[in-house]
Amino acid sequence: MFNSNPKSEMVLEDGSVFPGYSFGSKISVSGEVVFNTGMVGYPESLTDPSYRGQILVFTYPLIGNYGVPGYEYEDNLLKYFESERIQVKGIIIADYSERYSHWNAKKSLSTWLKEHDIPGIYGIDTRELTKKLRKKGTMLGKVICNNKKIQLVNPNRKNLMEEVSIKEPILYKKGRKKIILVDCGAKNNIIRAFLRRNFTVMRVPWDYDFLSEDADGIIISNGPGDPKKCRQTIKNVKEALQNNIPILGICLGSQILALATGANTYKLKYGHRGHNQPCIESGTKRCYITSQNHGYAVDSETLPEDWREWFYNNNDGTNEGIIHISKPFFGTQFHPEASPGPDDTEFLFDMFVRSIK
């Protein structure tokens, strides 16, 4: 580890201070401090819109060792990233690898962070920090660089979906069948997954009135923050449930789907973020290892009689999916599209495709 960079520190709302060294942009920021247990995939994770407003702690000790790929496009989407920019407020790591090595790397992680004006800290005991977050729960915090003092800001008080959603509809033309993707902070790989299946995807803003659009299926995407702030989306989905058009909710989308049925959601103590979350399919002994990034969950006890819990988390028993008993409506709390993480549950996209007439 090189220590020629200026000193920086991570300060939590309980007063805890974690000193380290600065890399990336030399600025001070505030946000919600969360941790990710994934061992790889930092370019995908950092561009995941679900992390909007958060300071991300990587529990894997070495980050930056394979650099960052270039901005190449395929099907009008960035090929190696999940959105057009870095979405996190800042990153916290134990050891930063300045010397990267990978056939596809075009720049260092620090250079990439500077391009997007995102600060990072290395040299921190991320194990101790993660244990604190697991014990006390997710906390607000701030990255202090160059002794520039700032106030704590709670990003969950804002409508984060509005910040990350597109402003105007975008059409990704492929096959004859068309899917509406309600963009609450959608990851690019959701779109890629359906383009590979020869579907045309119409991506619309989070509050777009998609009910008048001609479509064969509806997907409600992942995204950041409290699902209850997606009031217009919830209203639109509630109306869409009156029809038999297939609906799939992913992560935040599953929570929105549940709220549209009249069920409730709540904030988890520290959330699920990583690529190794075990999920059990209800009524079976089958366990799937899944990719996840969420801080809220559906209260299964509040689901209406014609809905049931589809999956649950084997670590803490919280809801990981919901399904209607007779209609083609279902949602998963985990990410079938992965990116990063295992793609063991991508078969759920095929299940959604089969439900389309």
Q: Where are the domains of the chain?
A: 7-157, 160-354
For residue 146, what pLDDT is reported? 87
For residue 5, what pLDDT is reported? 79
Strand-pair category, 119-122 with 90-92: parallel
**Cα dist from 325 to 34, 305, 328, whole Å:** 35, 9, 9
For residue 3, what pLDDT is reported? 64
- Could you tell me which CATH number the domain at 160-354 has? 3.40.50.880
For residue 91, what pLDDT is reported? 98
Cis preceding linkage at 169, omega within 30: no
- Could you tell me which CATH number the domain at 7-157 has? 3.50.30.20
For residue 1, what pLDDT is reported? 44
Active-site residue list:
251, 335, 337
How many Cβ atoms from other residues are within 10 Å of residue 327's Cβ?
A: 16
Give average pLDDT by consecutive 10-residue segment, the chain, 357 residues. Answer: 76 96 96 95 97 97 96 96 98 95 97 97 96 95 91 92 96 97 98 98 97 95 96 97 95 98 97 96 97 97 98 97 97 97 96 93
For residue 145, what pLDDT is reported? 92
Strand-pair category, 329-332 with 73-74: unpaired
In the block, residue with structure tokens 């660089």: 145
**Interhelix angle 252-261/231-240, nearest 10 degrees:** 60
CB distance 188 to 82 below 8 Å: yes
Helix, strand, coil: what percent of the chain each, to 5? Answer: 20, 35, 45
Residues 6 or more apart in contact with residue 150 via CB below 8 angstroms: 28, 29, 30, 142, 144
| DSSP secondary structure, 60-91, as one string | SSEESTT-EE---EETTEESS-SSSS--SSEE
What's the pTM?
0.96
The answer to whether 7-157 and 160-354 have equal CATH topology is no
